[in-house]
């Protein structure tokens, strides 16, 4: 009996002894929860910011593939669509590390169509694969952006847009809150300081722009209607593909690119690098400069005679023909042959002794990539390519292109020397 009663009493005592400890543990846990809650209220924003570098570090450690962009004024956007915000613009060819690619809006540019976009962490946005210097529409060896990566990108975009403004927005939503900014000091003329910045923007918007290219000239009919004579054309198609490979092996990159675009059978316009043509063909460059001078000089004379100093006097030439020969440049001969070019721009005359003038202009190029099979002098190559167009296996297209802004000092023509005394 004593042995039985003793454990029962001991058990009761032990339960009582454990109860305060349990209550104490509960109270301690409650305090910990309270501490965590109180601390999280003041540090939740800090914790979120502390987690952001970790996400960025994960992106930096993710495998990346190195590529190079091509073209100028290439936009980097916050999402794979042209409706997204432009976060950066690349002026020229740029080396980029692509971490992943994502299917997005289908873009048509530079004679190509593509719906794949590459994400470049260092630039914080997406670039359409059209301007990634690789022939494939979807880059090989680059994974698709996972759901987690897409979510991280959305979070970063939200965070970037809210940093510095989130606190101000919360204060602005409070009842009776004072505005974060107040109007600038009012000047005597009634304008505020903010309107001065607007005036600068308006002046920039009024800056002259080089006139657009003239309307495209009417091309020759070429091989006729696309797909008007359907047929297999296996031998001719094989001949054309072999020619692309031959030109690539010879280093005729533009010729191979243009023929391959013809065989792609899209009919989309193809953009050509006009500045490269100017650099590769000296006679074309001299013809362009002569056109600029001949067209701008009458405006220079008018500006000097009427003292239109500082005005922007626009000019535009019609379409002129230029033909490339094989000895000048075989690559451009097979790529474009004969083509049309035009110059548009404006002249600024400055006062001085003597007055000076500068022409700002762009050079535009147009050509129809086609094969005239109707002429008696048509070559066998023309007949082969023309038959592919007629069979619907390849398609003729327009070649277009413009330079960036060019600058040329335009000399005022010197007056002819007065005749000397007549000989006796």
CATH number of the CATH domain containing 128: 2.30.30
Burial 32-41 (b: 16+ CB within 10 A, else e): eeeeeeeeee
Domain that holds residue 156: 65-160
Residues in the chain: 424
Task: Give the largest Cα separation in the chain, rounded.
Answer: 165
CB atoms within 10 A of CB 304: 18
Which tens digits make up the pLDDT trace of 217-260?
A: 888 888 888 888 888 888 999 999 999 999 999 999 999 999 99
- The answer on 248 and 104 residing in a single domain is no
CA angle (346, 347, 351) in 5-degree steps? 155
**Distance of alpha carbon 69 from alpha carbon 131, whole angstroms:** 5
Instruction: Looking at the structure, tell me whether residues 258 and 359 fall in a common domain.
Output: yes
414 domain-assigned:
no
Q: Is residue 34 part of a domain?
A: no
* Rg (the chain; Cα; Å): 35
Q: What is the rounded distance in angstroms from the CA atom of residue 379 to the CA atom of residue 221?
A: 17
| Residue 325 in domain | yes
If asked whether residues 260 and 360 sit together in one domain, one would say yes
The domain that holds 352 is classified in CATH as: 3.30.450
DSSP 341: E
Tell whether 53 is covered by a domain: no
| Overall average pLDDT of the 354-379 stretch | 84
Looking at the structure, do residues 243 and 353 belong to the same domain, yes or no? Answer: yes
Evaluate whether 401 touches 381 at the Cβ level (below 8 Å).
no
Q: Hunting for tokens 């939503």 — which residue is that?
A: 173
| Residue 370 belongs to some domain of the structure | yes
If pLDDT is split at 50, 70 and 90, which confidence band does 47 have? Answer: low
Whether residue 92 contacts residue 74, with contact meaning beta carbons closer than 8 Å, is answered with no
Domain's final residue, options 141, 160, 179 = 160
Residues 277 and 390 in one domain: yes
pTM value > 0.85: no
pLDDT at 136: 84
Residue 174 lies in a domain: no
Domain count, the chain: 2
Using an 8 Å Cβ cutoff, are 114 and 135 in contact? no
Q: Give the per-residue pLDDT at 78.
A: 93
Of 132, 160, 188, the domain-final residue: 160
pLDDT in tens, 152-205: 555 555 554 454 445 444 544 544 443 333 333 333 344 444 444 445 555 544
Same domain (yes/no): 144, 250: no
Asked if residue 238 and residue 330 are part of one domain, the reply reads yes
pLDDT at 332 over 90: yes
| pLDDT for the residue 112 | 82
Domain contains 26: no
Measuring CA to CA, how many Å separate 277 from each of 29, 141, 261, 385?
A: 78, 34, 19, 24
In a domain, 340, yes or no: yes
Decide which of 114, 141, 160 is a domain's last residue.
160
Res 109: pLDDT: 82
Per-residue 3-state assignment (H helix, E strand, C coil) for 8-45? HHHHHHHHHHHHHHHHHHHHHHHHHHHHHHHHHHHHHH
């Amino acid at each position: 009996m004593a042995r039985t009663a003793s454990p029962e009493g001991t058990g009761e005592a032990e339960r009582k002894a454990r109860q305060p400890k349990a209550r104490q543990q509960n109270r301690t846990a409650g305090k910990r929860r309270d501490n965590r809650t109180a601390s999280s209220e003041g540090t939740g924003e800090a914790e979120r910011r502390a987690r952001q570098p970790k996400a960025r570090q994960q992106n930096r450690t993710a495998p990346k593939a190195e590529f190079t962009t091509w073209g100028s004024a290439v936009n980097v956007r916050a999402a794979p669509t042209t409706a997204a915000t432009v976060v950066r613009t690349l002026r020229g060819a740029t080396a980029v590390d692509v971490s992943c690619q994502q299917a997005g809006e289908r873009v048509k540019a530079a004679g190509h169509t593509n719906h794949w976009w590459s994400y470049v962490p260092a630039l914080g946005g997406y670039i359409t694969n059209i301007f990634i210097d690789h022939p494939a529409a979807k880059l090989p060896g680059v994974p698709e952006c996972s759901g987690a990566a897409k979510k991280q990108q959305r979070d970063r975009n939200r965070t970037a847009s809210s940093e510095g403004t989130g606190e101000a927005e919360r204060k602005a939503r409070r009842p009776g809150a004072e505005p974060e900014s107040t109007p600038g000091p009012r000047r005597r003329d009634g304008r505020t300081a903010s309107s001065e910045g607007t005036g600068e923007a308006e002046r920039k918007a009024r800056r002259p722009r080089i006139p657009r290219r003239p309307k495209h000239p009417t091309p020759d009919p070429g091989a006729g209607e696309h797909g008007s004579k359907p047929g297999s054309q296996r031998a001719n198609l094989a001949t054309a593909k072999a020619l692309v490979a031959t030109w690539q092996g010879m280093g005729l990159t533009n010729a191979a690119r243009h023929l391959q675009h013809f065989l792609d059978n899209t009919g989309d316009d193809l953009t050509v690098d006009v500045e490269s043509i100017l650099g590769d063909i000296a006679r074309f460059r001299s013809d362009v400069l002569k056109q600029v001078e001949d067209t701008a000089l009458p405006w220079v004379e008018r500006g000097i005679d009427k003292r239109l100093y500082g005005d922007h006097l626009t000019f535009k030439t019609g379409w002129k023909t230029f033909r490339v020969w094989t000895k000048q440049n075989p690559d451009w001969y097979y790529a474009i042959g004969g083509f049309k070019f035009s110059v548009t721009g404006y002249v600024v005359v400055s006062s001085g002794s003597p007055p000076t003038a500068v022409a700002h202009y762009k050079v535009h190029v147009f050509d129809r990539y086609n094969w005239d099979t109707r002429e008696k002098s048509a070559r066998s190559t023309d007949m082969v390519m023309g038959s592919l167009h007629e069979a619907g296996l390849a398609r003729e297209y327009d070649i277009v292109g413009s330079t960036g802004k060019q600058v040329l000092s335009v000399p005022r023509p010197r007056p002819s020397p007065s005749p000397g005394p007549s000989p006796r």
